[in-house]
Amino acid sequence: PNLYCDISAGSGRNALSRDPEFGKNFILEFKDRILYGRDYFDNQHQEFLNSLGLPQEVRDLVYWGNAKRLVP
């Protein structure tokens, strides 16, 4: 429960996007431990996350809520 991950590197997006259904289920299961980050100047990570049809509450956790909880 105290292990977090981020999807800032291309490898994170690549792993989740190989099987989008698995990626979506992974994010839903671990929504409270995934952090969003950007190592690139494009929007590939954000476009992928937004394409999954995740509930807004889950996207909010990944985009900023989990980081805010860790570093208030």
Question: What are the angstrom distances between the C-alpha of 15 and each of 57, 67, 72?
Answer: 23, 21, 29
pLDDT at 18 > cutoff 90 = yes
pTM across the whole model: 0.88
Whether 10 and 41 have beta carbons less than 8 Å apart is answered as: no
Write out pLDDT tens, residues 37-71. Answer: 877 778 888 999 999 999 999 999 999 999 999 99
Mean pLDDT of the chain: 91
Instruction: State whether the Cα torsion 32-35-43-18 is positive or negative.
Output: negative
Surface-to-core class of residue 57, CB atoms within 10 Å of its CB (0-12 exposed, 13-18 middle, 19+ buried): exposed
- Beta-carbon-side half-sphere exposure of residue 67 (alpha carbons within 13 Å): 10
